[in-house]
Structure 1
């Protein structure tokens, strides 16, 4: 499966030792006897991390990512009857993009919601159901987070991109998580492909960002094509409907929010530089408390310099920039291990890893008048 060890076999090490048993998505998950004898988490971190889990009825295994003890993110489910699902899960349910392989060789590709097949057309993100996350009560002076997420792959007048829409869904899932602020539905908008017209992106930004209070953080994430001085919405026709950076900057400037962050995974995003002007409740409380203590900020993080191309990776199945952005947000960017991922920490992590991964062909940039300690995410302890 995609060059990964899959099924039963024996692996030989360079020192002559060997390991016999079953592999799933490249991970060793034991042998048949272990499968029959063990249930629950048999390898890794099945609470908040990556692990291998055998269902209590011993009728299947899951290998992938977990949040709050439930399969959540990219993973593989193998059932005892030989069926297999590879793709995205949310809250333990097949939700998102995935492929279901039947034991007889047939397969079903497309999008799933709450365990049900939705079809090959990508549904509106609002159809996806997320388990509610309890948020601590916020006082009048506490900070809130507001976000607009845009991902465009299926361009009509530009080359089709492979992973920009999936990157946007991953960012949306992050901001719905405790580490990302557990944003309520009214605090976040996601626009994918045909929904991401210039008019709709602009309207979403104006609507969401205008609601922000004086202590709040507003975030725009854009993943798609860009030309010098602009992002390209889905309705860009080769000339009309460019979303100019000056327009984006004006909307950010008009927001009453104390903190403003634009994250762009797009070619020529670097031309934005021309605009220089423990418990879930405790996790969230720490995040918003840290946010309230930071100095006023406006920051722009760009995936590449203006003359560079923002790269996608077949092996990562993501844009390189967005891959390390999400990894950094999920905890790897916490350089000083204080449990809060600050803006400068996040950028330093992204820049170092993107430059290394691309052989210096892509160099993310940051600019603006910003507090380097502005908190962007928290790490679950």
Structure 2
């Protein structure tokens, strides 16, 4: 009986400490969803649900599970708002973060092997793309302890590839897990794969199961916390099954398996 009581107290103290830590830190988020592109129509490549997925991500972040993030800390850009210039401007919010804080970039839209596609992309213009290097530079410039990039886009796994900015990438991902820093990329697909939307889910397959997991279904050990490991274990097989093996999510970076992403 005594041992059981001690174990219960240890679990309770751990729960309180982890929940208190989240309350102390601030979260800053840039949320992007582009279904309707300036140069496209639905027949030529527009998406159906990317903007909806972005708004659902904001709803999660504003909820208790997502950390009750203040609306003033969230930059939401959908469709025509999500120009390259506006995205670059929004990313500067990450510079407000201090040690102990968290920054999140969520992107849902078209992707290429080395970049994400903003609303106002121009044909044959590399400079009109939002490159993975742009994103990694924005993360590197932030002092936040936890940095998350969540991408529901084709070929998003390309973010794991070394690029010309290898020194920046190395510094961004080099935080030792033992010092409490975490840099994680939650990517919808491998670098050679498409990211699928499903009409019956009314959203991107990856985002659909990601949000299900964050809202509690991934809490395998029922401790009231969804860790990044639990989320991967929940999301990956469901995405593979739903897409009949055509899409495999990639969770990549330097982070503790116990990194908490949601509190129930």
Q: Answer whether TM exceeds 0.5 for this pair.
A: yes
What pairs with 1:117-266 in structure 2 (closer than 5 Å)? 142-158=24-40, 159-206=45-92, 208-240=93-125, 241-266=128-153
Task: Please give the secondary structure, in 1, of the residue aligned with 2:65.
Answer: helix
- Give 2:5's aligned residue: none
CA distance in 2, matches of 1:294, 1:330: 28
2:236 equivalent to 1:359:
no
CA distance in 2, matches of 1:294, 1:223: 31
- Give 1:306's aligned residue: 191
Task: Please give the secondary structure, in 1, of the residue aligned with 2:256.
Answer: coil
CA distance in 1, matches of 2:116, 2:216: 29
Task: Please give the secondary structure, in 2, of the residue aligned with 1:173.
Answer: helix
Is the CA contact 2:38–2:80 (under 8 Å) kept in the aligned structure 1?
A: no
- Give 2:158's aligned residue: 271
Q: CA deviation at 1:239?
A: 2.8
Bigger proportion of residues as strand: 1
What pairs with 1:5-16 in structure 2 (closer than 5 Å)? none
Query: Using a 3 Å threshold, how does the CA distance of structure 1 residues 328 and 197 change in structure 2: closer, same or farther?
Result: same
Is the CA contact 1:333–1:346 (under 8 Å) kept in the aligned structure 2?
A: yes
Q: CA deviation at 1:294?
A: 8.3
Bigger proportion of residues as helix: 2
2:181 equivalent to 1:296:
yes
CA distance in 2, matches of 1:260, 1:323: 21
The number of residue pairs the alignment matches comes to: 225
Query: Using a 3 Å threshold, how does the CA distance of structure 1 residues 294 and 355 change in structure 2: closer, same or farther?
Result: farther
Q: Which moved more, 1:243-252 or 1:365-374?
A: 365-374
* Structure ranking higher on relative contact order (CA contacts 8 Å, 6+ apart): 2
Q: Residues 251-294 of structure 1: CA distance to partner in whole angstroms, max 9, x if unpaired?
A: 001100001000000001010011463xxxxxxxxxxxxxxx98
Runs of at least 4 residues of structure 1 off by over 4 A?
none
Task: Please give the secondary structure, in 1, of the residue aligned with 2:24.
Answer: coil
- Give 1:33's aligned residue: none
- Give 2:166's aligned residue: none
Is the CA contact 1:294–1:374 (under 8 Å) kept in the aligned structure 2?
A: no
- Gaps spanning 5+ residues in structure 2: where? 1-19, 163-168, 171-177
CA distance in 2, matches of 1:210, 1:161: 31
Output the TM-score relative to the length of structure 2: 0.82
CA distance in 1, matches of 2:124, 2:51: 23
CA distance in 2, matches of 1:238, 1:167: 26
Over the aligned positions, Cα root-mean-square deviation in angstroms equals: 1.7
Larger Rg: 1
Output the TM-score relative to the length of structure 1: 0.57
CA distance in 2, matches of 1:372, 1:296: 12
Q: CA deviation at 1:295?
A: 2.0
- Give 1:83's aligned residue: none
CA distance in 2, matches of 1:238, 1:343: 37
Q: CA deviation at 1:330?
A: 0.5
CA distance in 2, matches of 1:336, 1:357: 24
